[in-house]
Structure 1
Amino acid sequence: MSAIADTTDGPIEVIKVLFTLYPGYNTLDVAGPLEILSRALHDAKDKSSKGFECQFVGTAAAMKSVQGLTIKADMDYDDANDELEDFDVIIVPGGEGVFDILDKNSEPLNLLTKYVDLQEKNPAKERTILAIDTGSLLLAQQGMLEGLAATTHPDYYTRLEKICQDAATRDVSIRTDVMEERYVVNNARFDLGENPDDNPYIIKKSRDGGPVGANTEHARRKSIARKGSNAWKDSRRRESIARRASMPLGGMRVITTGGVTAGLDASLYLVGSLVSHESALEVARVMQYSWVKGVTVDAIDV
């Protein structure tokens, strides 16, 4: 992340986001999150305090969506792989092109695997992957959802389950819990608040994958975003690194969503988690959008 200004609490951080484009992506899977992230500010009264900087990687200079929208790529996948460590968030849209990627084992599959490798080797940095709509199928193909919970477009729940089962068998790993939700967040950290045990919005999972604890009855309740931006404070840094290192995928925050509009909801969650809850609410207000929340899954040992 790069500092753009100083405040009494330290530098304001710009979160660097990479959209992974391919032929046949869904327009709204890209345009929706881009709209929300571009509007997010650390300080609602200061338009220079932007929260996110977005770039696009593509297999060609110009990438065309299913609906006919063409977006110019800022870089190709070779360059993106070389610069991958610079990015805090990777967004994977869904679309008809997903199935061609699965058939050909093409990008962004390799980039996603490399991004996880970076996190596992260096959990000191907070990284996030947001897969929208059928984009979650790409994560499943790479074994990135093993032992986690996930969702996708309702028409593809069975396909997601099948890919996850195949990956778990191949890698002798824990199954994936496919959920019917707007979005599902794994490896949440500061999002959970100071005392996760008191948070009724968390689904806790034991080692055998089953829900445990007093909050089990609330397993379908909505998630809440962390208030404020205390995640960045040095007093939490050592704690956060230790916790990330003990989590699946090196503590990579993994978010999957339902259909295209669910990508808007998950993007607001991302703003709430990485910038502030107040910023997310302000973006939703300005866009006149009703934020529908999903669930946060916290994997714990018992």
Structure 2
Amino acid sequence: MSAIAIEDAEAGPIEVIQVLIALHPGFGAQELVGPVEVLSSACHKIKDPSPSPSALSYRTKAFEHTIAASTGGVSSSSSLTIKADINYTDAHDDLKEYDVLIVPGGSPKGIDAIIASNAEPIPLLKAFTKLQTTDPSKERTLMSIGTGSLLLGAAGVLQGLAATTHPDFYTKLEIICKDAARRGDLEQTDVMEENYVVNNARFELGENEEENPFILTKRPDGRRKSIARKGSNAWKESVKRRESNARRASLRLGGLRVITSGGITSGLDASLYLVAAMVSHESAQEVARLLQYSWNKGVTVEGIDV
């Protein structure tokens, strides 16, 4: 399943990025549907070069998603029931096949129950993180929507990183991350009041940094606000180049890209960032146009040039 290659007569192999979505009882419906809509609308080629039947291959979808849950059907906090594609046992077995793992947030009561019992998807989050740490030869991304970051914090994934969550839960995220730090290696989490926060981003800066659309501002503290790196070629090549593997291995969590987003619509913004990072900025802009949505940017805390 991982990054399935579909042959294109002119462009060569087109990668289909495999996304695993981890659902839990009481998940937020819009925190699921928003990112799914964005990723399902993303294409590697946004314009057909000709009206011929073969032109359809140029709009090959960029992402394919699979939904995992503990039961065959799982209900959201608004009583929307979603059918799962696989259970968590299969998700663990096939975890190495996925490029992206997304965790929507949900009702506070549901999130608290998961944390108290260390239930799924917490073990899956730990396994995905460990997989990247032990095998940095592949570029993987972990993304949470809203209160989903509370589950990342409970899993110990956010230690030493920066993160955000739904604005009503900043303090709770800080408490959860402090508890995780005490259980782990005492590294703290920088909880930021931002739209979305990206750790371990990738940049393709080019010769003139000022003209790169992926770098919006430079901050006095060394942090750079960015929307993504430039194009999907960098992503496809990153699994082949030894220097890319070495750079990932030197980063925290083996270079696992960790994205946390704030409220419900922040999930749309973070998903558009993911499209820009793994496909192209142009593709993300096209998705935003199709959805008639204004893309609001977040911040990038740490990154590497590719």
SS of residue in 2 equivalent to 1:189: strand
Percent of matched pairs sharing the same residue: 56
1:261 to 262, 265, 275: 265
* Cα pair 2:272 2:295 within 8 Å, conserved: yes
Partner of residue 57, structure 1: 68
TM-score by length of 2: 0.88
Of 183, 205, 215, the residue aligned with 1:193 is: 205
Residue 11 of structure 1: CA displacement? Answer: 1.2
Distance 1:5 1:183 in 2: 34
Aligned to 2:281: 277
Equivalent-residue separation in structure 2 for 1:10 and 1:164 (angstroms): 44
Query: Which residues of structure 1 form unaligned runs of 5+?
Result: 204-213
Displacement, 1:73?
0.3
Any conservation in 1 of the 2:147–2:169 contact (CA below 8 Å)? yes
Does the 8 Å contact 1:41/1:47 carry over to 2?
no
Q: Distance in 2 between matches of 1:173 and 1:47?
A: 52
TM-score w.r.t. the length of structure 1 is 0.89
Separation in 1, partners of 2:251, 2:208: 15
Write the distance in 1 (CA, Å) between the matches of 2:288 and 2:63.
16
Call closer, same or farther: CA 1:75–1:234 in 2, change over 3 Å.
Answer: closer
Q: Which residue of 1 aligns with 2:78?
A: 67
Amino acid at match of 1:81: H
In structure 1, the partner of 2:40 is 38
RMSD: 2.3
Equivalenced residue count is 288
Q: CA deviation at 1:69?
A: 1.1
Taking the aligned partners of 1:279 and 1:134, their CA distance within structure 2 comes to 27
Q: What is the DSSP-based 3-state SS (H/G/I as helix, E as strand, rest coil) of the residue aligned with 1:56?
A: strand
Q: CA deviation at 1:9?
A: 5.3
Residues 133-166 of structure 1 deviation map (CA, whole Å, 9 limit, x = unaligned): 0000111111111111000001000000011111
Question: Quick check: 1:287 aligned with 2:291?
Answer: yes
8 Å CA contact 2:238, 2:245 repeated in 1: no
> 1:76 — aligned with what?
87
The alignment partner of 1:233 has SS state of: helix
Change (3 A) 1:81 1:16: same
Look up the match of 1:225. Answer: 228
Q: Please, which runs of 5 or more residues in structure 2 have no aligned partner?
A: 49-54
1:124 aligned counterpart, secondary structure: coil
Q: In the alignment, which residue of structure 1 is the partner of 2:128?
A: 115
Do 2:163 and 2:197's aligned partners in 1 also have CA atoms closer than 8 Å? yes
The answer for the alignment partner of 1:94 in structure 2 is 105
Query: Which of 246, 249, 265 is equivalent to 2:250?
Result: 246
1:8 Cα shift? 4.9
Q: Distance in 2 between matches of 1:77 and 1:24?
A: 17
Moved over 6 A (4+): 195-200
Which residue does the alignment assign to 1:172?
185
